[in-house]
Amino acid sequence: METEFICYNRKGLEAILPHRGAALRKIDGALYNSIAPRTMVGVKEIGIDDPDLEGHFPGAPTYPGYAQDEFACLIAAALIPNIDKNLKYEPHVVQKNVRYKKNVVPGDTLTAEVRLLGRKGRFYIFSAEIKNQRSEIVAEYEKIVGAV
């Protein structure tokens, strides 16, 4: 059996996701390995000039929860075409449940591991964990629902 390892940059993600522009800037890249076909890992480096930091919060910049959500959801959406090679529709996320654990600040590098838990019809159910470069959990997603 041949192992398939795929490393997606933003251009590669454009080929499998409908997102563009500011939405796609929430992720720097993603890794898929066919040995663990129900899992995908994404990476995002938070720079001091990241547009999502604007206004969150002056004097103590903090990467907002909505941007972390989009990061995890983009990875979930990118995992769907790797699971189902015969998709007829573009993948997107329709619901999420999350608990934030730690602040994310400029200089942090986030990794998110998204796992497929199951599928019901056209809906995919995922869990996810976002960690910083110190392996500290910054957000836990009990449930992400993706659809095609």
Q: Which residues are designated catalytic?
A: 56
Q: How far is CA 49 from CA 61, 87, 105, 119, in A?
A: 10, 37, 11, 38
CB 139 within 8 A of CB 99: yes
Element (DSSP H or E) covering residue 140: strand 137-147
CB 112 within 8 A of CB 71: yes
CB 97 within 8 A of CB 142: yes
